[in-house]
Structures are given as structure tokens and as C-alpha cells.
Structure 1
Amino acid sequence: MTDTPAPAPAAEFWEARYRDSGRVWSGRPNELLVREAAALTPGTALDLGCGEGGDAVWLAAQGWRVTGVDIAVTALERAAVHAAEAGVGDRVAWQRHELGDSFPEGTFDLVSAHYLQSPVALDQRGVLRRAAAAVAPGGTLLLVLHAGWPSWQTEPPFDAEFPTLDGVLADLALPDGGWTVETRETVRRASTSPDGVEGHREDHVWRLRRSQ
């Protein structure tokens, strides 16, 4: 773990989210990570907002050396157990960062951020720009963000501004000629409410390759 400042409200929110419940996520990798990264040549990877480690463990099993980052200590502890049980504990380093304030050092062949969205304070634009800056020459930036509420969510639990495909690319402020957009797509997937109501949800996907 890295030395970090005293927890702020965002850290308290996410720590409580994990601490006050059992396993939050399935432990399986996100489908869009598998779709977009399966054919990439393994190298070093940074998983931002890694949660309980499903994506990081999958990447490690594919041969990547992974740095998994989250704001919640409990999530990172569960992720470390998951990696050890999967036999890839030696291929993943876990770091705690409140990404608006601190960020992992170095550059990576793959920087992946899935659903880096929050009901509490998060400088999403700033974090995504730092994510792009952390991609090594020839490397890949993979972003997946919810495009809106699920179809069954008739009363949103809080106000949220969802991204657009062009808006995120503009926010990244990437230099002309320095990147190639390989995927820019909205994907609809099945989504079931906690009460069992079936519906769908749309996600935006961006995969960008940095020039050598």
C-alpha cells in the first residue's frame, strides 16, 4: 500500500460501501475488458478503480503485470485474496489512491478504467487525463463508462451527468496525431434490477492507441 492522506468523504463513502456488505461484485472480469483486451500483447497494466479485483486478476491470468488501484482498503484486501486464490498474487501490486489527489507513478502498456463514476466527489476529467498521460508509447487506453441509467431505473437515486462519446474525447484533450481511436462505441447490455425487473443499460467504450 502507499502512504495516503487522512480519508476524505469520498474515501469514507466507498470504504463503507465495501465494509458494510459482503462481496459487492461477481469476481468475474468486465465483459468489455475481455472483448477489448483479449488480443493485446501482455505487458504492464494499470487498473483504475479496481474494486475487488475481477479485472486485475483476469489481466494477470493473461500474462500482464498489473497495478490495481482503489480508494477503499477493504476492496483492496478482498482483491489481494482473490488474486492469491487465483494463483496470480505475485503478478498484481495493489495501491490505495484517492485518484483526484494522488495517482500511481510510471507509465503502462495498458491503462484501463471501467465505470469510474461516483455519487460523491470525483474529478473525472482530471483523472481520465492523468490516465491518458500514464499510457506508454505504443500502449492502450481503455475506458468504459455508463451512458445513462438502466431502463428500469424510473427514479434516479441522485443527480448525475453522464458522458457522451465525443465529450470524453474532447475532455481528454489528446494531441493531434498522437493517438489512434480504435474503438468508439455505445454498447447495450442486459441489466436486471435488485427486484428482478429485466431491462437494459448502455455503456460507452473507448479504446485508444498511443503513437510510438
Structure 2
Amino acid sequence: MSASDRESYDEMYRSAPAVWSGRPNRQLVVEGSDLQPGTALDAGCGEGADALWLAERGWRVTAVDFSPVALERGAAQANVRGLADRIGWRHVDLDEWVPPAGSFDLVTAHYLHARGADRTALFRRLAAAVAPGGTLLVVGHLITAATGSGHQHQAEAHHQHDPDLFYTAEDVAAVLEPGEWADVVTENRDRDPGAVERTGNPVPDTVLVARRSGAR
């Protein structure tokens, strides 16, 4: 992520006391509610709603983002809610950062902006961070030629939709090593109606859920 992109997002976060709703992403709730708590990596955590939701359910979370403004906001909420000891907040650039391999029972990433030239390597690093028996959850906006020009959501008010920033669940599945993963699911799902109403963006989610082979 370029310095100008980072500054643009910091400016966005400074523009309001809270940019996002404070609620966890719908697909995390759908997929994570029945998982046994363990260690989790929230990649691109923003203001931390997903990390906070996981911590409240017993997870120990590493929450990473390139915006220090967003991280400070998430850490403040963790303190208010008595969760500071369950979440580690890290300022990293996911285009460069290498998470520790095999270290997390859940790796979750929602709506990452990853350029095509770097995206394969980024998703491979995230996949490699999943422990045996752990889960990889990657969710994106299903931006296509038919939908890409018509919708922007709140965080993209400063950014025109660049097709090179978006991906499908199948793109993510393609980087997974054959034989290392079980129960790989790729599908499109309707977006949370509350998020549609709040942002005016009805674009569906493209969702990958995969479990690494082996036992936890």
C-alpha cells in the first residue's frame, strides 16, 4: 500500500468519530459462531469490530492494519470493554508483512484492497498462517464489469473502484496448496441488509471458507 493510500485512509478515519458501524462483519458471525475459540488473526482489522467480537467469545486475537488511527480507535474500545489483554494491535502493511506460519486457528480478512500484482503472494502468506485444523475466511466485494461502476461504500468515498483491487473467492482458492486443505467453499452471498442500508452498496459478498487439514 502506497504512502498516499495510507494517508488517505487515515484522513478518512479522522473525518468521523466512527467510520464503521461497530458491528462485526456478517460472514464472520456466520462462520465463526460455532468455532472453538483459539488464536485468531484479523487481517485488515480497521476499527476492530471483528477483533472485539472474537475476543468477547474467548479468542486471543492479533489485529493488524496499516492505519494507526484505526488501530488506536480499536484499542480504545478494547480498553472500554475490558478486552485489552485478549487483543494485540499491530501496525503493519499486509503487502509486506509475513505472519508467523501455522500460528492461528482462524485467519480472517474482509474487503482487503490488494492489487493483482501482489494479491497472490498476500493470500499465500495469510493461508500459510493457518494452523492445522484451522480456518481461513476471506470475504470480498463481488465487483464485476456489471457492478463495478455503480456502487461505492463509505470507506471508498475517496477511491474510485479500481477493478485491479478486487477479487473473487475462486481467486483466493486458487492459491491454496492442493492436499493441504479440506472443505473448501467458495460462494457468493447477499450482503448484510443493515450494511446495504447504511452504505448504499448492495454488491454481494464473495466468500471463501477453507479448513486446513489436520487436527487442532
Q: TM-score range by the shorter chain?
A: 0.7 to 0.9
Which of 112, 117, 123 is the matching residue for 1:116? Answer: 112
AA aligned to 1:40 is L
Q: How big is each residue's C-alpha offset from its partner over 1:1-37, in whole Å with a ceiling of 9 and x where there is no partner?
A: xxxxxx8233222222212332111111011100001
2:171 is matched with 167
Return the alpha-carbon distance in structure 1 between the equivalents of residues 168 and 126 of structure 2: 18
Higher share in helix: 2
Other structure's SS at 1:192 match: helix
Q: Tell me which residue corresponds to 2:65.
A: 70
- The structure that is strand-richer by fraction is 1
Question: CA, structure 1 residues 136+77, in 2 after alignment: closer, same or farther (shift >3 Å)?
Answer: same
Aligned ranges 1:155-194 → 2 under 5 Å: 157-161=160-164, 162-170=166-174, 172=175, 174-189=176-191, 190=193, 191-192=196-197
Q: State how 1:1-150 maps to structure 2 within 5 Å.
A: 8-106=3-101, 107-117=103-113, 123-148=118-143
Q: Contact between 1:97 and 1:103, CA under 8 Å: does it hold in 2? A: no
Secondary structure of 1:11's counterpart equals helix
Which stretch shifts more, 175-184 or 68-77?
Answer: 175-184
Task: List alignment gaps of at least 5 residues for structure 2.
Answer: 153-159
Q: Displacement, 1:40?
A: 0.5
Deviations 1:61-94 (A, max 9, x none): 0100000000000100000011111221110000
Structure 1: unaligned runs, 5 residues or longer: 1-6
- Per-residue Cα deviation, 1:161-211 (whole angstroms, up to 9, x for no partner): 4323322211x2x222110134321011232375xx6x7221111110001
Aligned length: 200
Secondary structure of 2:190's aligned partner: strand
Q: Contact (CA 8 Å) 1:148, 1:203: kept in 2 or not?
A: no
Q: Is the alpha carbon distance of 1:104 and 1:177 closer, same or farther for their aligned partners in structure 2, counting shifts above 3 Å? A: closer
Q: Deviations along 1:117-149, whole A, 9 cap, x unmatched?
A: 26x898332211100000011111111111027
Distance of aligned partners of 1:11 and 1:155 in 2 relative to their CA distance in 1, 3 Å threshold: closer
Aligned 8 A contact 2:109 2:138 in 1: yes
Kept in 2: contact 1:100–1:122 (CA 8 A): no
- C-alpha separation between the residues in 1 aligned to 2:89 and 2:46? 11
- CA RMSD of superposed structures (Å): 2.5
Work out the CA distance in 2 between the residues paired with 1:85 and 1:62. Answer: 16
Asked whether the 8 Å contact 1:70–1:97 carries over to 2, the reply is yes
SS at 2:99 equivalent: coil
2:68 and 2:91 in contact (8 A); partners too: yes
1:79-118 superposed Cα distances (whole Å, 9 cap, x missing partner): 0011111221110000000111223335111100011126
